[in-house]
Chains A and B, each alone.
Chain A
């Protein structure tokens, strides 16, 4: 992951059931960068992340998404993951009866082998070792390895589990949708610390949707974007967060 990778979103339009949600989003994200997207509810933040990952319910009506030379729009959801995209869900899905450890190992092997033809499947033992170390850093109870995916997880555990998956799958660009919701202040610090560590270690780019000034401060993003009505209406540095806190979103929307 030494090579610099860039995600280019140009004039992206998308709708669901005929209702337009994205009205021309443009954004560039390169490896090693942290971006934060803010905006009122319904401004299209979550939709943007879902569309980037290829959620089947949205239709893309125009624009382009490129990861270096790859046309992301032509790729299936799993191909996007294999190419290096990752989505941390706001509401992670329960998959009953599927063991968490087995699921994540299978995913990790599939992704690793798709990225590098010479890669070999990691053994269950070695995988468990790496996963346990990561779980320790995130302070996740090891019992989760043998549980079903997200079943019986509390809100906070679900969010930590998303970060765990991200760590094990080693994406180039990770989208995190309100990764802070459901986390108490201690858990928030643990998650933020791990996100920063992964970002630094793997040169991973983070695109974080959040309203939470604490999380944003801990991540110290290179860029902050404000979305409204399906568009990025303002981009700037960390100082934008303070302005929003002070003036509210309306101040940006009038311009």
Chain B
């Protein structure tokens, strides 16, 4: 999704949910053969002209990836065939900062999705990733003059080696999990963002991720550093065409929110139903810092994603709000984790899921308060809405609290879409589909209304598309 104005037109024209599903014929600059080898990792690193430490980092991560077992919990990942995936597809020789320079067929793809038209209207900067590489990046001139960096992660490594090395992989170590290790071995693209001390970026920075090739693996790596007292809102959108065989998206996102800074990270995930979406996202919030994950998952075959916040400094605040929609053949296994390491910290986790037509959604969450973290407040709310009796919803909230002085609130509801609500709305002349869509939108509203207006409109439209043909 991502870009309202044009997408809206596109959706209106096609009137079906496959609006993002078109494929683009492209001539890739380089397309790796299927499967992962040490040789390929060396090749990727050489292609990118990386320093030796990064090659060593990748090779070490590859070893960890081979050694680590698949997660023994969560969604069914048995369909992933690591041998059949293309780990690296380079669409052009290097990222452009002028839209005109982007190859026309890629430009067409993003034009259809409404990029970079939206940039002029309500964004402070835009990035676009096609397959493995960022093909385009730009940031408002006044922001770059203030020292704001918004580049592809590859360029970040090249242009700001010290800053990069200081934070890269410090929040999510290679050994965190098998997919973080895989990402560390083959990462490519993603955003590198630095906001200098005291700078407030008022409009969102947006990155758009597109998988086009069949059996593609996309492994972007994002690193956001918000220096003391700064603030930024980063928005990512993801889409892919539908293929009969599976693709893999396995990103790693690390965020350092320094003293008194604020970061909001918004995701609108609308991968096609053949994408495994296995993402590790974690932020550290220092003293008086605020981190807010707003995570909307509508697409993908399987999503496993639990945005995390480590509240490391006093009075830090963490908030995770997520919305998941699981339709036929989808499993959204999502939630969030907050670790309270310091006193006077507070956290909120709100999770809302909608399941229909055999779809399955799982809330999996952890709130941990370590010994010595006093006067902590935490609140966890998970609500599940099921549209029929074939869908499924599970909740796994874990609380690990090692301190006395903690205020904990936990609420959970599971509801089937109400016959009485439907009857009431239909008695006013609304069709069953209109009524059900209204109830679903109403259920999602507390999350959706926190999105910037353009995205909220778009998300409601996507929800309505998901509901098309779902009843009667």
Binding site for B on A (CB under 8 A): 53-57, 76-78, 80-82, 86-87, 89, 92-93, 95-98, 103-104, 106-107, 110-111, 114, 148-149, 165, 169
Contact = CB atoms under 8 A, between A and B. Distances in A.
14 contacts: A54-B427, A55-B423, A76-B426, A81-B426, A81-B429, A95-B425, A95-B439, A96-B442, A96-B443, A97-B442, A97-B446, A98-B439, A111-B429, A149-B442
A229 B414 CA distance: 38
Is the contact region of chain B dominated by helix, strand, or loop, or is it mixed?
helix
Contacts of B419: 56-57
B424 A95 contact: yes
A206 B425 CA distance: 20
Interface residues of B, number: 24
A54 B430 CA distance: 14
A255 to B, nearest CB: 35
B390 interface: no
Interface in B405-449: 418-421, 423-432, 434-435, 438-439, 441-446
Contact of A78 (B418, B426, B439): B426
A67 B110 CA distance: 54
Given A57-B419, A78-B432, A95 B427 contact: no
A76 B431 CA distance: 9
B432 A93 contact: no
Given A77-B427, A82-B429, 19 more contacts: A53-B423, A55-B423, A76-B432, A78-B427, A78-B430, A81-B428, A87-B427, A92-B424, A93-B421, A95-B424, A95-B438, A95-B439, A96-B445, A98-B439, A104-B428, A106-B430, A107-B425, A111-B429, A114-B429
A56 B441 contact: no
Contact of B443 (A89, A97, A111): A97
Nearest to B435: A78
Contacts of B421: 93, 95
Contacts of B425: 95, 103, 107
B441 A86 contact: no
Contact of A86 (B427, B432, B444): B427
Nearest to A92: B424
A107 B439 contact: no
Contacts of A104: 428
Nearest to B447: A97
